[in-house]
Amino acid sequence: MIILGIDPGLQKTGWGLIESEGHALQFIGCGLIKTNPAEGLAQRLSALHRGLAKVMEQGVPDMAAVEETFVNRNPASALKLGQARGVCLTVPALYDIPVAEYAANKIKKSIVGAGHADKAQMGMMVRTLLPTCGAIGEDEADALAVAITHAHYGSSVSYKLGVNS
């Protein structure tokens, strides 16, 4: 099963593709979709949509998983992140790909074993689990961590998604 992990953001959205077969994980690819902060919100969301659509067309995943948003102190930032996250949920759905969501603490616990791991710990463990990914940034590592988490827990959420796996 090919899994697309997405770490949503309005400025930068990380994505990562892995293949999961039994307990074996294989790195396929990862990247970053950046939007131009000088553009309006609609243009930035459109750029995010186009970038994710390009990933979908190139990678052809069987499943997608998106990190849930944590509560932000700044309501305006939280709203913008929520809109970007909406795009991240919608694009795979437009390709008839089931989409799962995972809380940040669950992802961290799945990868590191502790729900409050820092970015450095997450990156190190992702590189350990997927040694062929090479040097990757934090957003790509986070996206790959979302995909790995889905590889671990995907069978338990597939019923909710109506997927026959």
Q: What's the token pair of residue 41? A: 């919100």
Provide the percentage of residues in the chain whose pLDDT is more than 90: 75
Backbone angles phi, psi at 42, to 5 degrees: -60, -40
pLDDT of residue 164: 36
pLDDT of residue 161: 46
Report the alpha-carbon distance of residue 52 to residue 100 in Å, rounded: 16
Tell me: pLDDT of 123 over 80. yes
pTM of the complete model: 0.91
Provide the percentage of residues in the chain whose pLDDT is more than 70: 92
* More reliable by pLDDT, 121 or 72: 121
pLDDT of residue 157: 57
pLDDT of residue 158: 46
Report the alpha-carbon distance of residue 137 to residue 6 in Å, rounded: 14
Given the residues 7, 101, 140, 142, select the one marked as catalytic: 7
Nearest to 8 by CA among 70, 54, 56: 70
Given the residues 67, 101, 140, 142, select the one marked as catalytic: 67
Mean pLDDT of 51-72: 89
Q: Catalytic: 139?
A: yes
Q: Catalytic: 96?
A: no
Given the residues 101, 139, 140, 142, select the one marked as catalytic: 139
What is the band of 155 on the pLDDT scale with cuts at 50, 70, 90?
low
Provide the domain limits for residue 105: 2-161
The CATH number of the domain where 106 resides is what?
Answer: 3.30.420.10
- How many domains does one find in the chain? 1
* pLDDT tens, position by position, 97-107: 999 999 999 99
Helix (H) or strand (E) holding 56: helix 41-59
Q: What angle do CA 129, 112, 88 make, to 5 degrees?
A: 75
Any idea which residue has 């959420």 for tokens? Answer: 157
* pLDDT tens, position by position, 80-101: 889 999 999 999 999 999 999 9
pLDDT of residue 163: 43
Report the alpha-carbon distance of residue 4 to residue 61 in Å, rounded: 6
Compute the CA torsion angle 116, 142, 134, 23 (nearest 10 deg): 80
